[in-house]
Amino acid sequence: MAYYAHPTAVVDAGARIGPGSKVWHFCHLMPDCELGADCSLGQNVFVAGGVRLGRGCKVQNNVSLYAGLEVGEEVFIGPSAVFTNVHNPRAGVDRRGQYATTVVERGVTIGANATIVCGVRLHEYAFVGAGAVVTKDVPAYALVVGTPAQRVGWMSRAGNRLVFDEAGYAGCNESGEYRLVGEAVKWCG
């Protein structure tokens, strides 16, 4: 199945869109960007050249994905989330080619109005709360909230809060068992 692009979307020549993907109202996809299969871009999403989204991503309304961003599979990006790509922008100084790489791994959720400062890595299945400002790497399965974002707990692959027992185990009815080892969570299946 081919992809769908709303008539108001601008898809520049050289943009690559996977089968089953949907590009909604007023989106703009630049040359050399790539959407995996079965992605969904909500209204008014911008995707810069060089940006790659893995299979099954959902990007909600009013999000700009700038150069320097790498997005894994099955990532959810909430409405009006913000990504930066330069640490010290100035209108009068050309910083093209100095973009800091930001990596969003598989299964990450980014809440509405969250800000992700460039140069960080959000490890698999991390969960960023609405309005959080992420200034450093986020561990796998961590739940972070606030400004600056701080870890306040752990989340399962299914997006449920994990509560670990004294032995360091937690269960999720939808995704199985997890183990807390030091400050790292491992999925046991």
Report the Cα 27 to chain-centroid distance in Å. Answer: 17
Q: What is the mean pLDDT of residues 20-36?
A: 98
Measured CA to CA in angstroms, residue 28 lies from 11, 51, 64, 86 at distances of 6, 13, 9, 21
What does the angle CA 42 – CA 26 – CA 135 come to, to the nearest 5 degrees? 55
Residue 98 sits in a domain whose CATH number is 2.160.10.10
Please tell me the total count of domains within the chain: 1
- Picking from 64, 69, 72, the residue whose alpha carbon sits closest to that of residue 46 is 64
| pLDDT tens, residue by residue, 125-176 | 999 999 999 999 999 999 999 999 999 999 999 999 999 999 999 999 999 9
pLDDT greater than 90 at residue 177: yes
Q: Which residues is 6 bridged to in the sheet?
A: none
The answer to whether residue 176 is domain-embedded is no
The residue range of the domain holding 121 is 4-157
Q: Where are the beta strands (DSSP E) in 98-145?
A: 102-104, 109-110, 115-116, 121-122, 127-128, 133-134, 142-145
With cut-offs at 50, 70 and 90, classify the pLDDT of residue 1.
low
Cα(22)–Cα(52) distance, rounded to whole angstroms?
A: 15
The answer to whether residue 89 is domain-embedded is yes
Tell me the longest C-alpha to C-alpha distance in the chain: 56
Q: What is the mean pLDDT of residues 26-35?
A: 98
Q: Which two tokens stand for residue 74?
A: 């099955």
Q: Which two tokens stand for residue 62?
A: 């009013």
The answer to whether residue 18 is domain-embedded is yes
The answer to whether residue 9 is domain-embedded is yes
Mean pLDDT of the chain: 97
pLDDT of the residue at 189: 87
